[in-house]
Structure 1
């Protein structure tokens, strides 16, 4: 066989092998892409995203859209070709697989953690919004989550209000760990908690037949105070006594605020929920009819925290027609040069920064905005 033909044949076989490898060999990466955006001032699947009852609310226009990122599933294994397409696409982000699905947690545990973060962010968003509007809020220490397989599983429940631990009053979540860690492993800790009474079907039917007045008068009777004994275990890292719960804060709100949004996880919508609540509870519209989107966690002191997948979120926002994007200050650097055209990235570090920015937006003063390009 002539050398030239042999060389071409060998090169062709090598190229074919590389093509098969690109399609069949899996790499430890996952992909992010722009996800749905939802107007916190509007409806989602025919239901108001923010359903506020028991106080006066006001009509709103414009948009305050929370944004999401779509990610490949836990069982999806990316090929080399898929990874190359993702790296080359301006509408996709390729990240290490363990960034989304850590090796030490199952897919169910990741989903549960995301759901718990989303729930906590809702409560923080409500509290921050109401405090901004001048409401004084009472708070309680609760069992925020129970570790699967931990000592407290089956004993304490998420949502239990922790009144005392070993007879000592609990006024903040940090006090729970302080009291528990005085013990050694395999010692008993007594939690005094308040939780809803478990009622049978007949009780539920009777309650449904009661009048609204009776329901209000007997609301406290639906809870019971119980003592729960938990045997401590030793923490793997340092051997300290633990019971396997995460203590958190729950607020007592003066009226009902329901955030109706399923199939969303994580804490990144906190800022937009706070702004949506404020808009619905104040006569003046925050946006002046403008399409504003954004992202960012919200801390109880009003600080706005950074999030992941921010580039994909800006693309999703612009696709839906957003003109402005409220961006956590800490995310600005990663967006320089990669944000969509015709989308103004407004840098915010606190809820007050966001409210000030919205003042300039509705007054049509774009030159007064602090942007990520500044």
Structure 2
């Protein structure tokens, strides 16, 4: 089993496990809400796709936090163990939804079975974003897997880069993020879909969250000394993020415009370092909001297939109030998935080891890929 040792890094890395951030869990619910409004076609939420930007920042913050704490505690990162944790967390729910979506398509929309199967092949291989860029017909119920693919592709690169950077992780992260954002700005005017779906043009959003994790001790110290300022910053960031849900759908995106909601999400996280309930954090830490955040991943997985099949069954109701209602009801499926799949695997000692976690990930991928190839015929 490969274990990579790192002598030291130039930023202070926390050795102890930090306090749970309930506000970040609540912010996941906000990100999900933006996405649901956008995909339902709610008129005032044409920019609700910024919810994906928020998810990317949160992911960069949380995952990098785990990596730097391991570095700070042991001076090393066990890469196989990292990927085993990712496999246990991400793949089972994604695989179940993928297989059930293929079955639903075969039953309710057989004419789309082959196209959905091709999308499922790309999704199972964590390449859905690149498939979307090359596919002609996007009318399949798996298009939302593009963001999962971008995330997994980023985490093939970032842990290794963090290790190679050794003493200067912030420098490496800054260079990577600057290049990524620059590519997004340059590509958006003429190649908007590539800029939107491309991994290279999205890395900077993970990078901003990762920078927060690398600077966590300093950020926490600053916010503790300036509670009034940080509370006002959080309120301003919340307002900016809410406004982006309205205007972001009317401009070329992502490009320069994506910096606004992405930075707002980072400020909401960073300014809550010492007091998660400060400012709008009082809403984010509210238990119902946190509950929605806790099941946001499986809810995200289900919301597109749910609306797709609902419209297939009731085409005359293809309007935003109906679609939004279906998306909200999909939360029930998300809860069941969390209870029946995610939580048991998270608590299971049987798959807790690195080897079994990797085997689980490989098995889920094989089953998903097999079902997809069967659908393609």
- Structure with max Cα Rg: 1
TM-score of the pair, normalised by structure 1: 0.22
Larger % of helix: which? 2
Structure holding more strand per residue: 1
